[in-house]
Amino acid sequence: MKLYSIQLLRGIAALLVVFYHAVGLQLLTIGPEKADNAMLGGVFASGFAGVDLFFVISGFIMVWVTRRGEPGLPGVGEFLFARITRIYPLWWAAAALAATYYIFLHVPEADDPAWRTAVQNGEGVGFLMKSFLLIPQPDLPVLSLGWTLMHEMYFYAVFACLLLVPRAVIPLALLGWGGLVVAASLLGLSEPVAINFLTLAIHPLTMEFIFGAMIGLMVSSGFVARSGILTLGAALWFTASLCLQGEFTPYTHQWGRVLAFGIPGALLVYGFAALEQHGRLVWLVPVAGAVIVCAAVYQMQGVSPAADLALRQSATLVAVPAGAVAAGLVLGLGWLGGRYTPGLLYALGRPLEMLYAAGRHIGDWSYSIYLGHIFAIGGLVFLQRWLATAGDWAAPFVLGAPGVLDDLIYIAGAFAGALLAGWFGYMLVERPALSLFRMVRRRLFPYSRRAREDQLP
């Protein structure tokens, strides 16, 4: 059974990362002196939390898809084959595109520090090999987004080993794994960025995979509560963390983001999965209302991560109650509509179902969006730089211009470009690769339960 609500959550995580990078590139383009003119910022400046949500979802999915898997080495082999063929084809395509850009357009004056250092030291080939294989190294890979995939592959490798033990032992194994990560941090062994296999193995971000896996064990074992209020609380907690997040520090890179986003992210995953299991996805309407109002109220106050903590706290204390009130209003109106105007409420259901379906599609494209959006936004920034030299007619459209027109065009372009890049990546690379390797997997593991299920009409 595929949980479509989790696909929706994947789409949300991908869009958070899209707007996070859109904020960064916008500020890089207009310069700090015009930063106050930018409409983006605020909660979007903390959109890196989409990665934390991705990690939690990955841990959940690994448990969910293996809940009826074959025990022993055949099951482990099939699991690893599925994961490797899921991650690497699209990564190779995106990394090759980035490498082509640097090799043919930016050598040796590359503006990417990792690439420039590798070329100057005569280590370009080794740098590229490690990048394509997702092997940790002191510098970020040729497409910097790949650092997250290193964590993903590490988690898959360890989880594959856990599949060799009885299912009942996995919770204890996960607790032991988490204990090792905590102990390593207490001993001062962890680093903000994983630069080798040791720092990758003990990085605090591993806890987010473990959180997701524990949630997956709960849901797959039938421990599924009626979680409407829990989901609402988790959504407001996650949004409040987006509001409160300050500028990046070494602590943020490690435990800061785990505590701020990993824990509420795990509760969100549980809440979404439980709502779908109970057939109560209508709760996502007040949840969405709460998040939108909370974020909007915070944005209107013009607070950035660079602001003092006291200012961020006061703005958040206004935004979160506003979101909670919005959720209460939506619930109240829903109750009144169901009691007095059920026809109107039923009519509203159709557009909401279409919106939910659109979110699921974005979730299907989320991996392609994640790897492809940076090219789309980069192209948009190049267009903005051209507009800056195009004459007076283009002045209102150039980033940093007075007014909101430039921001609205940039936001719409970043959103549409990211979706288009995701759709192209999914249709041209990801889906064909998935279909091809699904056929190969059936031949390699013909007696697995998944292969038998694939053959059912």
Closest alpha carbon to 426 in 14, 1, 16, 2: 14
Give the integer Cα–Cα distance in Å for 98 and 92. Answer: 10
Task: Report the share of the chain in percent with pLDDT over 70.
Answer: 91
Q: For 126-145, what is each residue's pLDDT tens digit? A: 888 999 999 999 888 989 99
| Predicted local confidence at residue 457, as pLDDT | 34
Mean pLDDT of the 338-343 span: 86
CB 42 within 8 Å of CB 249 = no
Give the integer Cα–Cα distance in Å for 368 and 14. Answer: 9
Mean pLDDT of the 220-237 span: 91
Q: For 362-391, what is each residue's pLDDT tens digit? A: 999 999 999 999 999 988 888 877 877 777
Q: For 397-448, what is each residue's pLDDT tens digit? A: 777 777 777 788 888 999 999 999 999 999 999 999 999 999 998 888 876 6
> Distance of CA 349 to CAs 281, 334, 344, 365, Å?
12, 11, 9, 25
Which residue has 């809940």 as its token pair?
Answer: 67
- 453 pLDDT band, cuts 50/70/90, is very low
- Please give the model's pTM, rounded to 2 decimal places: 0.93
Please give the span between the terminal C-alpha atoms of the chain, in angstroms, as a whole number: 15
- Which of the pair, 12 or 345, is modelled with greater confidence? 12
Give the integer Cα–Cα distance in Å for 117 and 126. Answer: 12
The answer, yes or no, to whether residue 106 has pLDDT greater than 60, is no
Give the integer Cα–Cα distance in Å for 440 and 436. Answer: 6
Give the integer Cα–Cα distance in Å for 277 and 256. Answer: 32
As a 3-state breakdown, the chain gives helix, strand, coil percent values, each rounded to 5, of: 80, 0, 20
> What six digits make up the tokens of 284?
């996502």
**Cβ atoms within 10 Å, residue 433:** 17
Which residue has 């990801």 as its token pair?
Answer: 430
Pick from 44-58, 150-164, 171-185, 340-354: least confident: 340-354
What amino acid occupies position 424? F
